[in-house]
């Protein structure tokens, strides 16, 4: 099989789409190979490698890294073919820089596959069948059972990401996503078929992912242009349930009720305003992973208003408190955007104080950067050194708090999904998304859920030992 290298930038949605694209490649006779970190194809692997780049445009830094990667590929492999797609490709205000660097740029995956299969490889047209089969331009479920030995993302057969929803029309003033991702929900029956297929194939953890997963089964009330005008935002109604379509809680109920013992369900992220009483009850289900990623963005009500977020800190506090009550031995993680154009020193201090109160197990802190077409991008911007310094302070502050929070897990047992073997260590995630490692040993293999005792914690990684010898669940 001809190798095709895959490089992914950005969020779990991109991550899941790359796995899905790897599935398509394998079905059509190609060998997908992942590139991680700063890795490039070695000069002796192929004279003319084909590299697929799945890009991100949430921040300017993400765009810069993707462009830098393309330039490195073309410098070290001048004869390579770089197929560039993803969100940055659809941000047409910047996509020319990737062409200038030597990439072929495509808005969507079927176009990239068609170029690979028909132009580079000279095969007869078969893109129509691929497009109808994969639905890349709306939503895509991931069949990791078909990805054995591909090397893509290291998932093997242990975890399956299913992208159930795409797009977002919230029109937060800092966010470019409404302009670069189409809005859609994957049909319910297709998701259930993917779940059943993956579980039958030995997958131990199903992860539901999407750009705004709480909007599964919902329809925007208007176009993004009209929603951006404030009319609907002031009314507080941006979406309505699609007639006859299950919502997220319906979907989760169906999945939880069909998962066998020794498997679990996880959701990648959910917004505070999309959580209802059913969700809190579902968190208590024995097959539900006790971990919620609940984006905050700012701990200042003034900044949240300027961002056009659909909650304030009081609402967020109430939701977080109920989550903690539902999963007292679970984890709460978040995203925080630092350096929004109107953020004052006092408002940044409010964010630090709110993080201290919430005591998140982990935060993803990132510096604001202006995005073309967004309302915040047209505002006067803070000095870059101020933004970077605030981000450093946030990460240091929340890193200390997170380490304190994780300490309460030391001495407890965890059901750890072992995902990979690296440098003599087995590495995986516990049910609360603890990062866990233990030395390779007989009777315990990657791809299993293993009951481990967490014996120590260093820089966010737990050391562990088996509770009983050979406790692994066979895949």
Spell out the domains of the chain, with CATH numbers in brackets: 2-134 (3.40.50.280), 157-289 (3.30.750.210), 292-408 (3.30.750.200), 413-466 (2.40.50.140)
Number of other residues whose CB lies within 10 A of the CB of residue 470: 10
Q: pLDDT by residue for the chain (475 residues), tens digit each?
A: 788 899 998 887 887 888 888 888 888 888 888 887 777 776 555 667 889 999 888 888 888 899 999 999 898 888 888 999 888 888 887 788 888 888 989 887 778 888 887 777 766 555 454 444 444 333 333 333 332 222 333 334 688 889 999 998 888 999 998 888 888 899 999 999 999 999 998 999 999 999 999 999 988 877 766 666 665 555 556 778 888 889 999 999 999 999 999 999 999 999 999 999 999 999 999 999 999 999 999 999 999 999 999 999 999 999 999 999 999 999 999 999 999 999 999 999 999 999 999 999 999 999 999 998 899 999 999 999 999 999 999 999 999 999 999 999 999 999 999 998 889 999 999 999 999 999 999 889 888 899 999 999 999 999 999 996 544 454 4
Residues composing the chain: 475
Tokens of 148: 């054995």
Alpha helices in 115-258 (DSSP H): 127-134, 177-180, 188-200, 224-228, 231-235, 248-258
Q: At what angle do helices 127-134 and 12-27 cross, to 10 degrees?
A: 140
Interstrand relation of 435-439 and 461-466 (parallel, antiparallel or unpaired)? parallel
The helix, strand and coil proportions of the chain, stated in percent and rounded to the nearest 5, come to: 40, 25, 40
State CA 305 to chain mean position distance.
25
Tokens at 130, concatenated = 């691929």
- 201 three-class SS: coil
Cα–Cα distances in angstroms (integers) from residue 407 to residues 347, 411, 461, in the given order: 29, 9, 11
How far is it, in rounded angstroms, from Cα 177 to Cα 167?
7
CB 53 within 8 A of CB 10: no
Q: Which residues, in sequence order, are CB contacts of 127 under 8 Å at separation 6+?
A: 110, 113, 114, 117, 118
């Amino acid at each position: 099989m001809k190798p095709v290298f895959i490089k992914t930038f950005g969020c779990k949605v991109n991550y899941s789409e790359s796995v899905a694209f790897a599935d398509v490649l394998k079905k059509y006779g190609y060998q997908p190979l992942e590139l991680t970190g700063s890795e490039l194809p070695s000069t002796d692997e192929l004279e003319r490698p084909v590299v697929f780049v799945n890009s991100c445009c949430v921040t300017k830094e993400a765009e810069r890294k993707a462009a830098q990667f393309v330039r490195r590929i073309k410098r070290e492999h001048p004869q390579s073919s770089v197929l560039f797609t993803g969100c940055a490709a659809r941000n047409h205000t910047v996509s020319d820089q990737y062409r200038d660097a030597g990439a072929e740029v495509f808005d969507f995956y079927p176009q990239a596959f068609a170029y690979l299969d028909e132009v580079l490889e000279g095969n007869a047209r078969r893109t129509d069948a691929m497009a109808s089969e994969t639905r890349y331009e709306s939503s895509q479920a991931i069949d990791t059972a078909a990805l054995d030995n591909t090397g893509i993302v290291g998932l093997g057969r242990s975890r399956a990401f299913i992208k159930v929803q795409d797009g977002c029309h919230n029109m937060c003033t800092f966010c470019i996503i409404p302009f670069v991702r189409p809005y859609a929900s994957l049909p319910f029956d297709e998701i259930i078929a993917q779940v059943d297929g993956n579980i039958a194939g030995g997958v131990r953890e199903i992860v539901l992912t999407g750009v705004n997963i709480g909007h599964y089964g919902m329809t925007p009330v208007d176009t993004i242009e009209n929603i951006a005008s404030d009319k609907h935002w002031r009314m507080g109604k941006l979406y309505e349930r699609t007639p006859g379509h299950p919502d997220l809680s319906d979907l989760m109920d169906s999945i939880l009720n069909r998962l066998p013992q020794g498997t679990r369900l996880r959701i990648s992220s959910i917004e505070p305003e999309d959580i209802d009483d059913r969700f809190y009850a579902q968190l208590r289900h024995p097959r539900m992973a006790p971990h919620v990623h609940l984006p905050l963005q700012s701990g200042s009500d003034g900044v949240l208003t300027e961002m056009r977020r659909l909650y304030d800190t009081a609402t967020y506090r109430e939701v977080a408190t109920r989550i903690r009550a539902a999963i007292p031995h679970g984890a709460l993680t978040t995203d925080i955007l630092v350096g929004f154009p109107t953020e004052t020193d006092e408002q940044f201090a409010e964010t630090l104080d709110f993080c201290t109160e919430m005591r998140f197990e982990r935060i993803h802190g990132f510096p604001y950067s202006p995005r073309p077409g967004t309302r915040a991008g047209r505002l006067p911007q803070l000095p870059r050194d101020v933004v970077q310094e605030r981000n450093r302070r946030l990460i240091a502050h929340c890193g200390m708090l997170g380490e304190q929070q994780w300490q309460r897990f030391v001495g407890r047992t965890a059901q750890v999904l072992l995902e990979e073997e690296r440098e003599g260590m087995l590495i995986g995630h516990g049910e609360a998304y603890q990062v866990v490692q233990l030395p390779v040993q007989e009777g315990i293999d990657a791809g299993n859920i293993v009951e481990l005792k967490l014996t120590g914690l260093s820089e966010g990684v737990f050391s562990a030992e088996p509770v009983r010898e050979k406790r692994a669940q066979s895949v």
